Amino acid sequence: MRERRTPPTPEEFSRASSVLRLASCDHDKPREECGVIGVWSPEPIDVAGMLQLGLFALQHRGQEAAGICVSNGKDLVIEKDLGLVSQVFDEARMQKLRIPGAKLGIGHTRYSTTGSNLRFNAQPLNVRSSKGILAIAHNGNFVNAMEIRTQLLEHGAVFQTTNDTEVMINLIARYAKLNLIEATARSMRELKGGFSVVLMDRQTVLALRDGNGVRPLVIGRLSGGGWVFASEPPALTLLGAEWVRDVRPGELVWVEGGELRSMQVLEPSPTPCAFEWIYFARADSLLDGVGVHESRVRMGEQLALEAPAQADLVVPVPDSGIGAAIGYSRASGIPFDYGLYKNPYAGRTFIQPTQELRDLKTKLKLAPTPAVRGKRVVLVDDSIVRGTTSGRIVQLLRDAGATEVHVRISSPPIKHPCYYGIDTAARKELVAATHSIEQIRELIGADSLHFLSEGGVRRAVGGPVCLACFNGLYPAGTPEGEGQKEALEQA
């Protein structure tokens, strides 16, 4: 017979949350952002099913929560919860979303960069306003969210969540005398940061992007005359939509009378996030005219020119290091091989509480292959955040018989936090912010260590990009004080 458990006290809950936060610090990659998608059709279609498929294509952008909102012009239904798309949208939930005559909807996959990973923070968020019911899904961060939230609270606004997305939807609702397009444009002018948003009422879907274009957003056309907006092109492909173009930085687009309308709200100053090409986006994506896989190959080629190595084999850390490893191999002439096998069933969110178990988890996720035995290996990865996982991988290769391990990273050292929708950890936890490259090399146990230069990233992408997490220069502004996320939690 099981012992009956009483609910945790507030003190116990606080202690448990602290343990989880500490445990979750054991990651050596920037954490995902969010994925957004919107669908509009001139005729009734299975909007819920299309959004669910689209979210599967965007699952890599966030695994903490998922949500879908649909409308038939009269009814508006939202279903959302914590978990993966496959976990949240079982058949019962999908049946609730399949309302008769549905023509439009939006969806979201979430990683919590602002607002705790709790069910009430899952998106889409909705609000009743003078414009009817509005729903919103958001990727990125508003750096002045706390300031605007305080102003709204002083004017009687009510907030139900602790994430910054609710600030925008409340701001839009506040402008009662303006129509939805005008109110959204005005809100865009007041908000700062890196963001892409899909927004809907019962009749139409809007999509918008910040003036720097930090976060991606693309437009697709359905064969039946409908429109799709999504964080990345693979979601369009899965839905059979034809890629049209990217939403331009600072642009607001919406569907009116079946046609795509556009307003250039903010002066464009394109500096999209470099990490979209380095790590976040799917390899088959095309963002702002630049292929993700091709850019990663070029990063590897640049890295080989900047940091050559005397070695026998180039080995990627799967999966995001593969493109750069191919490029390094091509430029250096050193053979490429899969020296690490990635277990596809190991999962991504299971954090072990002890160092010993974390080491075993690394072995579960990655296993060296016989290809590395007796070889001098160039190990190519996309980034180092804390250095913990990198050190374990280097040791795995040594234990498997690699005689030397030369680590090459296809991004510069991460020295600063991101305020635009990526959880890169606090600056004090970033190993490159507190250690020299030589100290990091010693920490991870590599024979040599080199990072790609900022110029190398720019050349690989082929245009201006945001490099704030590397150089501390934030093109879309910064919060007035540190800890906006914590401030929103306590507000």
Nearest to 134 by CA among 259, 46, 254: 254
Which residues touch 439 (CB under 8 Å, ≥6 apart)?
A: none
Instruction: Report the distance separating Cα 245 and Cα 390, nearest Å.
Output: 37
Q: Which of 102, 125, 103, 106 has its CA nearest to residue 38?
A: 106
The DSSP call for residue 225 is S
Q: Clarify whether residues 256 and 366 are in a common domain.
A: no
Annotated binding-site members for Mg(2+): 320, 381-382
Cα dihedral 290/292/293/298 (nearest 10): 60
Looking at residue 31, its pLDDT comes to 54
> Which positions ≥6 away from 367 have C-beta within 8 Å?
340, 341, 343, 396
The residue whose two tokens read 């005729």 is 43
Task: Please check whether residues 189 and 336 belong to one and the same domain.
Answer: no
**468, 443, 292: which is closest to 382 by C-alpha?**
292
| Per-residue confidence (pLDDT) for residue 365, from 0 to 100 | 86
CA distance 116 to 97: 26
Q: Which two three-digit tokens encode residue 391?
A: 């050190």
User: Are residues 311 and 378 in contact, defined by beta-carbon separation less than 8 angstroms?
Assistant: yes
Verify that 347 and 249 share a domain, yes or no.
Answer: no
CA distance 119 to 127: 16
Same-domain pairing of 196 and 55: yes
Q: Is residue 322 part of a domain?
A: yes
355 and 444 within one domain: yes
Question: Within 13 Å, how many C-alpha atoms sit on residue 265's CB side?
Answer: 27
Q: Which residues are catalytic?
A: 34
Q: Are residues 97 and 170 in the same domain?
A: yes
How far, in Å, CA of 49 to CA of 44, rounded?
12
Residue whose C-alpha is closest to residue 297's, from 343, 332, 270: 332
How far apart are alpha carbons 160 and 163 in whole angstroms?
9
| CB contact burial 415-433 (16+ within 10 A = b; e otherwise) | bbbbbbbbbbbebeebbbb
Q: Do 340 and 262 lie in a common domain?
A: no
- Has residue 91 been placed in a domain? yes
Residue 491 lies in a domain: no
> Percent helix, strand and coil across the chain, each rounded to 5?
35, 25, 40
Q: Which residues neighbour 140 within 8 Å (Cβ) at sequence distance 6 or greater?
A: 33, 34, 193, 194, 195, 196, 210, 214, 215, 420, 421
Residues 367 and 252 in one domain: no
CATH of the domain at 324: 3.40.50.2020
Task: Identify residue 261 by its one-letter amino acid code.
Answer: R
Task: List the Cα angle 302/307/309 in 5-degree steps.
Answer: 120
Is residue 105 within 8 A of residue 48, CB to CB? The reply is yes
Q: In this structure, what CATH number is given to the domain that contains residue 145?
A: 3.60.20.10
Pair 333, 214 in one domain: no
Q: Which domain holds residue 101?
A: 30-271
Task: Please report, in tens digits, the pLDDT of each residue of the chain (491 residues total).
Answer: 333 333 333 333 333 333 233 233 334 666 556 999 999 999 999 999 999 999 999 999 988 899 999 999 999 999 999 999 999 999 999 999 999 999 999 999 987 544 445 576 789 999 888 899 999 999 999 999 999 998 888 877 777 777 888 899 999 988 989 999 999 999 999 999 999 999 999 999 999 999 999 999 999 999 999 999 999 999 999 999 999 999 999 999 999 999 999 999 999 999 999 999 999 999 999 999 999 999 999 999 999 999 999 999 999 999 889 999 999 999 999 999 999 999 887 654 334 445 566 566 667 789 999 999 999 999 999 999 988 889 999 999 999 999 999 999 999 999 999 999 876 656 777 999 999 999 999 999 999 999 999 999 999 999 999 999 999 999 999 987 555 544 554 55
Known binding residues: 273, 320, 381-382, 418, 466, 469
Can you tell me the distance from the alpha carbon of 80 to that of 68, in angstroms, rounded to the nearest whole number? 6
Q: How far apart are CA 372 and CA 245, in angstroms?
A: 43
* All residues at 6 or more sequence positions from 185 whose CB lies less than 8 Å from its CB, including other chains: 252, 263, 265
Task: Identify whether 482 is part of a domain.
Answer: no
Residue 11 lies in a domain: no
Separation of alpha carbons 217 and 462, rounded Å:
19
Count up the domains in the chain and report the number.
2
Q: What are the counts of helices (DSSP H) followed by strands (DSSP E) for the chain?
A: 18, 21
| 100 φ, ψ (degrees, to nearest 5) | -60, 135
369 is written with which tokens?
Answer: 């292959």
Instruction: Say if residue 390 is in the same domain as residue 455.
Output: yes
Same-domain check for residues 413 and 370? yes
Which residues make beta-bridge pairs with 155? none
Is residue 280 in some structural domain? no
Cβ-based neighbours of 476, under 8 Å, separated by 6 or more: 143, 192, 193, 194, 210, 211, 212, 214, 271, 419, 420, 466
Q: Are residues 373 and 252 both part of a single domain?
A: no
Binding site for [4Fe-4S] cluster, by residue number, is 273, 418, 466, 469
Domain membership flag for residue 285: no
Instruction: Using CB atoms within 10 Å of the CB of residue 358, give its burial: 0 to 12 exposed, 13 to 18 middle, 19+ buried.
Output: middle
369 domain-assigned: yes
Helices (H), 317-387: 322-332, 355-365
CA distances from 296 to 291, 324, 333, 478 (A): 9, 5, 17, 28
- The predicted pLDDT at position 142 comes to 93
Beta-sheet pairing, 404-409 with 376-381:
parallel
Tokens in use for 378? 């160039």
pTM listed for this prediction: 0.88
